[in-house]
Amino acid sequence: MLNQEDGTFKSDKDLAKIFKDKNIDTTVNTINSCGSGVTACIVDMALRIMGAEKTAIYDGSWTEYGQVDEPDFKQGAKQGWDEPGKN
């Protein structure tokens, strides 16, 4: 999505081709996420350069999600999910 020479975004035409080649529908609601939120910001900006209006960033991404305890499906408990400040 970025030009290697100078770090600027590729043209809107080049960006459109990237998304089209990956079968990404830029007309639907899109939430961008990644490991820490940085790459998600780049993808979000690329979508906006192309004119996408239904895009958002989950800035906590996998780093935040990984800190939440998973439910205990065997016992039916939601430890970590329903505690204040943990969701």
Is residue 29 within 8 Å of residue 54, measured between CB atoms?
A: yes
SS3 content of the chain, % helix, strand, coil (to 5): 30, 10, 55
| Active site members | 34
- 60 and 43 Cβ atoms separated by less than 8 Å: no
Q: H/E element holding 20?
A: helix 12-21
